[in-house]
Structure 1
Amino acid sequence: MTRTARERTLSRSDVSAMWFFIVAGVALVGVSAYFGIARIVEAAGGRVQVPAVFEGTTGQAPIGPDGAMRDVELQTALLSPDSLSVAGMGALVLEQALAVVSIATVVGCLIAVTASVLRGRVFSRRNTALVSTAGIAGLAGLAGVPFFGNMVANDAFRSISQRTFDNVIMSVNLSHLLLAAFVVAIVTTVFTVGDRLQRETDLLV
């Protein structure tokens, strides 16, 4: 596509918005990597707080008159174990690494698609592959990060209770995962059809 055709397709505001999202995506990857590394370093130093999900567990909170203690059912809490086992630490490293890699892959693929659009090409086999890769990476992160997070939480429970408290819960949200998979399938299909129509149009020109 010539520069003139590109300029007719993309306005200056379109280009500015795309560059903004490119910069924001790079910043997102950098922030994710920073916090992932910081969390691993803190855990290695014995300063770790682990998000945990509870089921049917009763605790007490000062919510009564004059701060009187009342029973409440715990849903989520932050655990502060003295340390994690080798397996727990390994799960935490995998959790953070998968989060960073999945975010970096999604952002990298979408930036590559955006760069292609800036050059005047929306639908192509390359862009379809990039969108599919971004979708798969996003789904892997949605499923894998909570999975390893659950392993870390279970290790924290064992450390605090000396293996006397059993609260093994898988907190992967299946409905969110299925919805994300549906969206990925729809977007991939749109790019696949768009690529085919683009190639057919190119043959007619």
Structure 2
Amino acid sequence: MSSTKKPEGTALSRDERWLAFGAVGVGVIMAGLIIAVAASHLVETFAGGTIRLVAPFVDESAELPIGPDGTMRTVEVEQATITAPDTPLVSVFALVAQVVVQALAMLTIVACLTWLCLNIARTRVFAPANEHLLGTCALASGLAWGLTMLLNAMSINGAFASISDRDYNNVLFEAELTPLIVTLVFGVLAAAFRVGARLQKDTEGLV
């Protein structure tokens, strides 16, 4: 196996420079979009001075005018946007913290992946730093997954409590599996880079 680490002080080739510039450019754009989406979500949530959030339901139905000539038909409700004007402060904090945690996790992942692309542009594919970067991505994704579920449950419970005067108990604890899968993917990649770094080190020792 040949070395994949560029010696210190070696100038980047034209393709490597374009890869580095592209990685930084995409990273900056994605970071800006993440911040903009988070801010927009907070503005939409607190529009009009009341909290609006998507809440889960189970075994609930509603009447909607979806029949011929607007005839009412019964539908099952799994999700609905609810408005809660008197939500407890702790639930408001949980709602804001949920958005902040998700944004910080995504910004961390974008920063690490951008750094990873820069290392690859410098032909440092199996550098120890790359394993740590992917491990950080896995950690950020996993922590955000767990905290988001907890904070989401707190905010929804508070919203239902304010609407029903604590008389509605049909609240679900939602578990989104996609972030967990992303966490596992980052963990597997980190392990693969660790093995690659060890194999490269062993091979260079034989040269």
- Could you tell me the TM-score, scaled by structure 1's length? 0.84
What's 1:33 paired with? 35
Deviations along 1:6-52, one digit per CA (max 9) or x if unpaired, are: 64xxx83x764554343232222223223334544563962432011
**Count of paired positions:** 199
- 1:120 lines up with 2:123 in the alignment: yes
Distance 1:58 1:39 in 2: 27
Give the equivalent residue in structure 2 for 1:153: 156
Over the aligned positions, Cα root-mean-square deviation in angstroms equals 2.5
Matched to 1:106, the amino acid is I
User: Sequence identity of aligned pairs in percent?
Assistant: 29
CA contact (8 A) 1:147 1:172 kept: no
Answer whether contact 1:124 1:198 (CA < 8 A) is retained: no
> Greater share of helix residues, 1 or 2?
1
The answer to which structure, 1 or 2, has the higher relative contact order (CA under 8 A, 6+ apart) is 2
Q: Distance in 2 between matches of 1:138 and 1:53?
A: 23
Specify the alignment match of 2:51 in structure 1. 48
Residue 70 of structure 1 corresponds to which residue in structure 2? 73
Deviation at 1:137, TM superposition (A): 0.6
Do structure 1's residue 198 and structure 2's residue 178 form an aligned pair? no
What pairs with 1:1-205 in structure 2 (closer than 5 Å)? 1=6, 3=10, 7=13, 12=15, 16=18, 19-40=21-42, 43=46, 46-174=49-177, 176-205=178-207
User: Residue 76 of structure 2: SS of its match in structure 1?
Assistant: strand
TM-score, normalised to structure 2, is 0.83
Q: Where does structure 2 lack aligned partners over 5 or more consecutive residues?
A: 1-5
